[in-house]
Amino acid sequence: MTNALRITVWNENVHEREDSEVAALYPSGIHGAIAEGLRDLLPEATVSTATLEEPEHGLTEDRLAETDVLFWWGHGAHDAVDEAIVERVAERVLAGMGLVVLHSGHFSRIFIRLMGTTCSLSWRDDGDRELLWTVAPGHPIAEGVPDPLVVPAHETYGEFFDVPAPEELIFVSNFSGGEVFRSGLTYRRGRGRIFYFSPGDQKYPIYQQPDIRRVLANAAEWARPEGERAIPTVTNRPRGWFEG
């Protein structure tokens, strides 16, 4: 009845090319691993990838017009993302396209642009165990996800995470070093839906983990647009235009 979900996974794809350890973990790139998980769990979806080095970062008008949900992974090359492309993506989100921002994407231009805050946080790369606890059971993004979801070793992200208070808080993480982090957050902006999910760092095999893949697949389905896609615009209508 509903059309097939069209997903684009965007990745800066820098660590994988410059760091052999990351390349070993993610031989087809972080985007490749994410796409693989989505294809596996959402067999009816169309999943493609795009990276920084492509023309227009692979995010042409045509590509975005055919994307229902965009995943975003970036870290070291946020500043290399063209402002015009950021604005293009922002307008698409406000018009209804879903956006899933991952891990160090908290500092991406697109996320800061849409949140309006610094999006800063505390961090420490120390191999902590991370436990993601579900605080919104019954939410579609938590469906089928173990509670807690255990990440054996990971970079630590801690509060204060300077984002607007989320509309829905789905996951909260405990790190073995003592930190907590709001690790699964939803927002609506314009007609679009945004999900921020804090795993996973490039040095750890996060996106191979089945439970993490389940969250990403759930998020893709949750973030898909409802109805028409159109950016909200100012209108000036005559009195009683809605009558008759």
**Which of the stretches 19-27, 45-53, 79-87, 234-242 binds a copy of itself when contact is defined by CB under 8 A?**
234-242
**Which of the stretches 13-21, 48-56, 80-88, 137-145 binds a copy of itself when contact is defined by CB under 8 A?**
137-145
Give bridge partners of residue 101 from the DSSP assignment: 72, 196
Residues 175-194 close enough to bind a copy of itself by CB under 8 A: 175-180, 182, 187-193
Q: What sign has the CA pseudo-torsion 216, 116, 130, 128?
A: positive
Site string for a copy of itself, 112-131 (x = CB under 8 A): -xxxxxx-xxxxx-x--x-x
CB of 6 to a copy of itself, least distance (A): 17
DSSP assignment, residue 236?
-
Total number of residues that touch a copy of itself (CB under 8 A): 73
Phi/psi for 170 (5° steps) reads -100, -45
CB of 59 to a copy of itself, least distance (A): 19
**Is 158 exposed, middle or buried (CB count within 10 Å of its CB: 0-12, 13-18, 19+)?**
middle
Residues 81-110 close enough to bind a copy of itself by CB under 8 A: 90, 94, 96
Binder of a copy of itself out of 46, 48, 60, 174 (CB under 8 A): 174
Distance separating alpha carbons of residues 179 and 173, to the nearest angstrom: 8
Binder of a copy of itself out of 70, 172, 215, 216 (CB under 8 A): 172
DSSP assignment, residue 9?
E
CB of 162 to a copy of itself, least distance (A): 4
Residues 140-169 close enough to bind a copy of itself by CB under 8 A: 140, 142-144, 147-148, 150, 158-162, 164-165, 167-169
Give the residue with the Cβ less far from a copy of itself, 51 or 209: 209
Distance separating alpha carbons of residues 18 and 60, to the nearest angstrom: 26
Q: What is the largest CA-CA distance in the chain?
A: 67
**Is 54 exposed, middle or buried (CB count within 10 Å of its CB: 0-12, 13-18, 19+)?**
middle
Give the residue with the Cβ less far from a copy of itself, 55 or 234: 234
| 213 near a copy of itself (CB under 8 A) | no
Across 16-26, b (16+ Cβ under 10 Å) vs e yields beeeeebeebb
